[in-house]
Amino acid sequence: MSRKLLLAAMVLLLIQGCEQTPLVERLQTTGVLRVATIASPLSCYLGEEGPAGLEYELVDSFARALQLTPRFTIYPTRKALIKALKTGKEEMAAGFIIPVSNEERAYYVSTSVVQTSPSFAHFMGYKRFDPETMPQTPVTIPAKSYAEKLLNKKSVSLHRLNNKSEEAVLALINQGQYHYTLTNRAQLKAHANMLPRLVPGSILEQPLYVRWLFARFYDSSLRDRADAFLLEQEENGYLALLRSKYIENLPERNFVTRRDFWKHVKERLPMYSDLFKQAGADTGIDWRLLAAIGYQESHWNASAKSPTGVRGIMMLTQDTARQQKISNRLDPEQSILGGARHLLWMEERIPERIQGEDLLWFTLASYNIGYGHLEDARVLTERQGANPDKWEDVKQRLPLLSQKKYYSTVKHGKARGGEPVSYVENIRYYYRLLVHWDNVRNGLDCSSIPDQRRLALKN
């Protein structure tokens, strides 16, 4: 045998050997899992503390279970995502995908991640869509989606949008550019706070299953491991926890609250955003968090006053203004910077062992009710056998400070303890919306690296 033929035979044997090695084992030699996804509240988005999302968290846990690091790539549509998967550019796709059954032979499909139902949605002010009585009314959907397959069986006029994701179509409906679409209940719940003029409509009685896809370019070992992982997470409750966090138990506000917030984002925030950013740069606090506090305090009204004597955008007391060397509480620049400095001062009083989000929520509660009353609530929490260093435990005891049975036993006495609980929850809500708005405005997604420093400077 010639040397060339011998070399060719050796290469062929090497290739065949690699093909016989399960994909999971090959990935473990590189340490990386390539994952295709889209920017979405249910897949992957840039949250307050970095990348977040139901599938982002789940895929991260799956990869770590395989001793791999996930490398997410954001695609504009699910069609583009699946194309990358079919060519072997990515090993896995997790983009809140509801596969179209007649295409499933082109890739391996996991067991269900989320079960949901098809639901029509419409722009506020229009009546609910009824396919029986409104057959000529256009329903706008992404081209070649599961929605198209569902509606092809009905006498419905379809308006297909090429190169648009389901999320993009929902945003267009919310803007009033189109009037009706078919989506699913999970998407509507996830987008409810971001798209206030998007109204859920009638539901089709047919289950839909969100699944992960895997490249058939390789063997099925990665899909098989994913199925086992998803079954384990279903049994241990982790999947239910993620569904609750990102779909079922998102904070809700009524339409007027959401409408007014987005109206003020458009009309008032531009007057003060540079001041919030400057205060954020001076103090190291995310400017969007400062803006969320300012909205909760005054709805970004620089002339705001209350009967209790607090003033300005950040509603500072006279004592706080003196402490932070603020001469005019009605001056927006002074008020915002004074509020940011006061927040840092409050943070420094929280015990060093409290970290992460708990540090943030305790600091905000102190900003509202005062550190002394917060400490009283932590004392009550410890007395009742709960964790005084966890916000979720302490917030249940704060309202007890208004009852004599409890406030008479602590150092700082009576307080309206329910107020800081609502205060913190409202700021969490506004902060999340501002982060979403800022990311969309700047074209950022979960592949972007945020450069903002956080309030929890002790981390």
pLDDT, tens only, 93-140: 999 999 987 666 789 999 999 999 999 999 999 999 988 889 899 999
Please check whether residues 279 and 357 belong to one and the same domain.
yes
pTM (two decimals) = 0.86
Read off the pLDDT band of 418 (50, 70, 90).
very high
Structure confidence by residue, pLDDT tens digits, 57-70: 999 999 999 999 99
How much is the pLDDT for 3? 59
Q: Please say if 297 is a catalytic residue.
A: yes
- Shared domain for 47 and 91, answered yes or no, is yes
- Bridge partners (DSSP) of residue 109 are 213
Q: Strand 45-47 vs strand 50-52: parallel, antiparallel, or unpaired?
A: antiparallel
Q: Residue 444 — very low, low, confident or very high, per pLDDT cuts 50/70/90?
A: confident
- 20 — pLDDT class (breaks 50, 70, 90): confident
Number of domains in the chain: 3
Same domain for 270 and 381, yes or no, is yes
383 and 316 share a domain?
A: yes
Do 279 and 427 have their domain in common?
yes
Residue 179, pLDDT > 70, answer yes
66 with 132, same domain: the answer is no
How far is it, in rounded angstroms, from Cα 14 to Cα 218?
Answer: 16
Q: What is the mean pLDDT of residues 192-212?
A: 94
How many secondary structure helices (H) and strands (E) does the chain include?
19, 12
| pLDDT mean over 378-394 | 97
Give the model's pLDDT for residue 367: 93
- Residue 114, CA distances (Å) to 81, 181, 204, 246 in order: 19, 21, 17, 11
Domain hosting 139: range is: 118-206
Distance CA 183, CA 33 (A): 30
User: Which of 91, 166, 297, 347 is flagged as catalytic?
Assistant: 297
Nearest-Å Rg of the Cα atoms of the chain is 26
Mean of the pLDDT values across residues 424-441? Answer: 94
Residue 448 lies in a domain: no
310 closest CA partner among 342, 280, 279: 342
Q: Are residues 269 and 371 in the same domain?
A: yes
Cα 20 to Cα 16, 24, 83, 220, 256, distances in angstroms: 6, 11, 25, 12, 60
Token couple for 345: 């001062």
Q: 436 and 303 in one domain?
A: yes
Report yes or no on 451 lying in a domain: no
Decide the pairing of beta strands 92-97 and 32-37: parallel
* Main-chain phi, psi angles of 72, to 5 degrees: -85, 135
Question: What's the Cα-to-Cα distance from 69 to each of 149, 280, 428, 443, rounded to whole Å?
Answer: 35, 32, 30, 25
